Structures are given as C-alpha cells and as structure tokens.
C-alpha cells in the first residue's frame, strides 16, 4: 500500500468512525427500543408489539394510516410543485439579461431562512387572521377575515405544502441553474437546427440532461419533508397528524411504555425513506447498465 493511500485512509478513519457510531448507533438503539427493549423500566423482552399497536390496534391504526396518507400526500405534492416552480424559473432566467442577477437574488432569498421562520410567516400571511385575510376584508373581497379560505391548519396540509414549496424551490433552483449553466446551449441549438420546436427541445434535450440532478434533489427534498417535525407541528391540526408529529407525542407521553410506539413510528419513517433511496439507486444503476 502506497504512503499517499495510507494517509488518505488514516485521515478518513476518525470522521467515518464518528459518523458510523452516531448514525448507526442511534438507529440500532432506536430499533431496540421499538422492539420493546427498555432497561430503564425493566423491559428486556424483544417483540413487535409496538409495531402492531401503531399499525393495527383499534386505538392507533386509524391515526397511523391517515397520518401516513397525509405524509405521502404532502411530501409528493410539495416536492413536485417545488421542482416544477424551480425548473420554470431556472429555464426562464438562465440566459443573460439585464435583471438576471436580481432575479437570482429574489429566487434564492429564502434559502438561508429556517423552516420554522417560514412556517410562522405563513401563519402571519395566509391564516384567517393573517395579512391577506384582513386586506381582503378591508377592500371588500370578503365579508370578514373568517370568510378567508382555510390555508393554514387545514386537514389537507395546504399550509405545510405552501411552506415546503416556497422553501425548497430555492434548493431546486440553485441545483438546476448550476446544471443548466454547465450544459450551455449547444445541444439546443443543434436540435433547433434539425427542426425541433421549443417543446421538443425541452422534452428530448433539456429534460433528459437535467433529470439525474432533478431526481437526486427530489429524493433529498422528499426525505426531508417526510420526516420533518417543526412545520407539521406548527401548521398541522390534531387529526389527521403527520407521522413525525405523532411520534413526538408518543415521546412526550409521561408513560415510558409509549416510548416503544414512538420509536416504532420513527423506524417506519426511516424505512420508507430508505426504501425510496434504494429504488433511486436501483433506477440509476439500471440506466447506467442500459447506456
């Protein structure tokens, strides 16, 4: 083994050990607790009772399945809309023009803002006591602020979706802009010289070239929105609840026996995201083999 390779391995050993210990150690301990192993309350038996209680018991089954449906709905819709808005914006301003720098700044303005701040902003603007409701009432569009559509704390998670779309579109935008700038316009000009119209150039030239980056960013955004707690907790309602909020309520329960159900929910969330990531890598590898 060469000296340079040994130096690289030694330099990576410490951070990798820390990452593996903290990540897989936490996952393993959480898995043990989800299986009923809680020495703090003298529970040492390994079983799947917590998983059964969460998914199939009369008390929690309806909460779980409606929460899972809401989770999938919010994550898929917010990811799709954020990607669509970012793609539209990136395609619209990627060419050089006098206001390009300003548009880039406006589009990326919300990137450093925490999700919690954005969620509070949604309450101030879109709730029935918020800015839009009061302005609409003042100008006569609605009779009173209570007549304003329920966009925050609604059963369909519209306020949560709006928050994620507004926040994550900047993440998509930066990735797509960097990819489009690196591609240039040679491929499009060649397609145009062969008679392709704008839609054909987008469908058969631009989209296949940016799809790997777009898909990778979508996996990241979906995984985050599926497992995030703060925005659903602030903008959601008591029923249906998204799974992270439901899991956290199990952790807040004074009865420590409920900790196993909370860990079981957390493991289920992690497994769904991991399955999605595995499918993503499988699709990427299949595409590589075909090429």
Q: Where are the domains of the chain?
A: 59-290
The answer to whether 109 and 154 have CB atoms below 8 angstroms apart is no
CA-based torsion, 109, 111, 112, 114: positive or negative: positive
Fold annotation for 59-290: MetI-like fold (1.10.3720)
Among 130, 128, 118, CA closest to 154: 128
DSSP one-letter code for 1: -
The answer to whether 214 and 172 have CB atoms below 8 angstroms apart is yes
Phi first, then psi, for residue 42 (nearest 5°) are 60, 40
Dist CA 113 CA 283 (whole Å): 33
Residues of the chain with pLDDT under 70: 1-4, 95-100, 285, 287-291
Residue 57 tokens read as: 């018991």
**Looking at residue 99, what is its pLDDT?**
62
**Looking at residue 68, what is its pLDDT?**
93
What is the residue-wise DSSP string for 182-229? HH-SHHHHHHHHTT--HHHHIIIIIHHHHHHHHHHHHHHHHHHHHH--
> Counting beta carbons within 10 angstroms of the beta carbon of residue 104, is it exposed (0 to 12), middle (13 to 18) or buried (19 or more)?
middle
Query: What are the beta bridge partners of residue 38?
Result: 43
Count helices and strands in the chain by DSSP H and E runs:
13, 0
DSSP one-letter code for 38: B
Dist CA 273 CA 27 (whole Å): 14
What digits encode the pLDDT tens for the residues 181-194? Answer: 887 777 777 777 77
């Amino acid at each position: 083994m060469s000296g340079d390779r040994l130096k690289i391995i030694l330099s990576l050993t410490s951070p990798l050990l820390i990452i593996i210990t903290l990540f897989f150690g936490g996952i393993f301990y959480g898995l043990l607790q989800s299986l009923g192993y809680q020495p703090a309350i003298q529970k040492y038996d390994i079983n799947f009772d917590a998983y059964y209680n969460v998914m199939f018991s009369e008390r929690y089954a309806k909460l779980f399945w409606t929460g899972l449906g809401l989770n999938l709905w919010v994550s898929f819709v917010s990811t799709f809309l954020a990607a669509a808005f970012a793609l539209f914006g990136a395609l619209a301003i990627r060419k050089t023009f006098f206001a390009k720098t300003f548009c880039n700044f406006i589009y990326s303005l919300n990137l450093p803002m925490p999700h919690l701040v954005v969620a509070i902003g949604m309450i101030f603007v879109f709730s029935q006591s918020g800015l839009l409701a009061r302005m609409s009432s003042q100008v006569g569009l609605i009779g009173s602020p209570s007549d304003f559509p329920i966009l925050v704390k609604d059963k369909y998670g519209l306020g949560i979706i709006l928050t994620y779309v507004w926040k994550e579109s900047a993440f998509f935008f930066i990735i797509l802009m960097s990819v489009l700038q690196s591609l240039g316009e040679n491929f499009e000009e060649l397609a145009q010289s062969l008679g392709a119209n704008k839609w054909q150039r987008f469908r058969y030239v631009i989209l296949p070239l940016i799809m790997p980056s777009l898909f990778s960013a979508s996996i990241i955004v979906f995984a985050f929105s599926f497992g995030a707690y703060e925005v659903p907790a602030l903008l959601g309602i008591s029923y249906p609840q998204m799974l992270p909020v439901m899991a956290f309520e199990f952790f807040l329960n004074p009865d420590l026996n409920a900790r196993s159900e909370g860990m079981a929910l957390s493991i289920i969330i992690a497994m769904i995201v991991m399955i999605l990531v595995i499918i993503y890598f499988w699709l990427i590898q299949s595409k590589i083999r075909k090429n």
